[in-house]
Structure formats: structure tokens, C-alpha cells
């Protein structure tokens, strides 16, 4: 690697490895405070793996059991993606959208639109972690309900809503985020330590989520009050 490439990767580690995780955790906090039933289900999962009032060490094997926490993270990022634009450059001339494009044309992919597109998601504006939790083991992220699994017609529809790149939390292909697993470990750890030990509430439940978007979406302000959980 050249010095420029080394510098670029180090900057990526600082930029993509801190701001993105910190802002996504803010968004997770906001949605959990607005959906207490989701929060209770999350706490039940955390408590079952990391018992309250007991000493424990976070291990990768235990964190990997937090399937509902993972579903929450993905659903929050679907509705409010931190990285909201991906850029790609074709190395050769290519046809996209019925048009011919020369090599090195920059294509900017709007993730916020894809994540809420009605052709790929059922009730796309609704916060529903179960859309990831029910099919958690699949990379297709099918958006299905229990009854739909038994319906041949809906199964065909689910093939449409489960497009491979309808959810792009960490990008895709050979350019997928190299730190994606570390980011998930960080988010799991924060959820266990913060929500497992403390009761977090918004100061103003009526206040909208204050964000600013450019290449990434950042949380401008999130006022909360924190106290130890009554266990």
C-alpha cells in the first residue's frame, strides 16, 4: 500500500469506526424510547443471556446470541441509515437504467430511498424489528410474517420484497465495510451495558429526532435522563 492508501484507511477507521456507531446508537435509543414493547422484548433477551445483578464478561459467543438486538439495530438503520449514500465507479463502460455510461462515472446510491421503497418492504414507514428477527439467519432479509410463510401467493411476493440489496447497512460486494463485525460488537456491547443496567428515557417524547444529513446522518441532539434499572 502507498502512503496515501495507508492514510486513507486510517482516516476511514476514525471516521467510519466512531461517528457511525455513535450516531446509530443514538437512533437506537430514540426508537426504543418510543416503542416500549420493543424495549421490553430487548431487555428480556439481554437479561436471559447476561443475568442482572451478576458479574459477567462480554464474549463474542454471548453477544452473537442477541438476535433481537440485532434485529433492532438493522431496523433502526433501515429507517434512519447513518451512511445514506454509497458511491461506485465502473472500471469499464456500462449500461445502467437503459443508458450507456463511460468508465469512471460516479454513481451515487441513495440508501434512504432503497430502505423505504414500497417495492421491497411491507409497510416501509413502520418501525418493526420483527421483519429482521423472523428471518434472522437469512442474508436475503425477507420481510415476512408468520402467516405469510404458509401462503404460496405471499411467498412469491416475498421473493420480490427480499431483494439482496434492498438493505445495505454496510454496503455490499468487494467494497463492503471491513469493520462491520466490529461495529455490531460495539453496538451489542453498548446495548448490554447501557440498557441492561440503566433505565433510559427521553426528556421530551414529543421532540422530533434532530438529525443532519450529508454523506452520513448525524444526531444533533438527544436529551435523555438515565437512572439505574429497578431489578
State the residue range of the domain holding 31.
Answer: 3-228
Instruction: Indicate yes or no: pTM above 0.85.
Output: no
pLDDT at 77: 96
pLDDT at 19: 83
CB 107 within 8 A of CB 89: yes
pLDDT digits (tens, 9 = 90+) for 55-98: 888 999 999 999 999 999 999 999 999 988 888 889 999 999 99
Task: Read off the C-alpha cell for 139.
Answer: 442474508
Of 5-14, 95-104, 121-130, give the lowest mean pLDDT range.
5-14
For residue 15, the domain's CATH number is: 1.10.630.10
Binding residues for heme: 177
Q: Phi/psi zone of residue 192: left (φ > 0), alpha (ψ -120 to 50 degrees), beta?
A: alpha
pLDDT digits (tens, 9 = 90+) for 164-195: 789 999 988 888 888 889 899 999 999 999 99
CA triple 144-145-146, angle to 5 deg: 125
Binding residues: 177
Number of domains in the chain: 1
pLDDT digits (tens, 9 = 90+) for 198-231: 999 999 999 999 999 888 899 999 999 999 998 7
Percent of the chain with pLDDT over 70: 87
Amino acid at each position: 500500500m502507498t502512503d496515501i492508501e495507508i492514510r486513507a484507511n486510517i482516516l476511514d477507521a476514525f471516521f467510519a469506526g466512531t461517528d457511525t456507531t455513535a450516531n446509530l446508537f443514538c437512533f437506537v435509543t430514540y426508537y426504543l424510547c418510543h416503542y416500549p414493547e420493543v424495549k421490553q422484548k430487548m431487555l428480556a433477551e439481554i437479561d436471559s443471556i447476561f443475568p442482572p445483578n451478576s458479574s459477567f464478561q462480554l464474549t463474542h459467543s454471548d453477544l452473537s446470541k442477541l438476535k433481537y438486538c440485532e434485529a433492532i439495530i438493522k431496523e433502526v438503520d433501515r429507517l434512519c441509515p447513518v451512511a445514506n449514500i454509497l458511491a461506485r465507479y465502473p472500471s469499464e463502460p456500462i449500461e445502467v437504467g437503459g443508458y450507456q455510461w463511460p468508465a469512471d462515472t460516479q454513481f451515487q446510491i441513495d440508501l434512504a430511498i432503497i430502505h423505504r421503497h414500497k417495492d421491497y418492504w411491507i409497510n416501509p414507514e413502520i418501525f418493526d424489528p420483527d421483519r429482521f428477527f423472523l428471518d434472522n439467519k437469512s442474508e436475503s432479509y425477507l420481510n415476512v410474517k408468520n402467516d405469510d410463510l404458509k401462503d404460496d401467493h405471499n411467498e412469491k411476493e416475498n421473493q420480490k420484497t427480499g431483494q439482496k440489496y434492498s438493505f445495505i447497512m454496510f454496503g455490499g460486494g468487494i467494497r463492503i465495510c471491513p469493520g462491520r463485525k466490529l461495529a455490531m460488537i460495539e453496538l451489542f456491547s453498548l446495548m448490554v451495558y447501557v440498557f441492561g443496567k440503566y433505565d433510559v428515557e427521553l426528556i421530551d417524547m414529543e421532540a422530533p429526532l434532530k438529525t443532519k444529513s450529508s454523506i452520513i446522518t448525524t444526531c444533533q441532539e438527544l436529551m435523555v435522563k438515565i437512572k439505574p434499572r429497578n431489578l
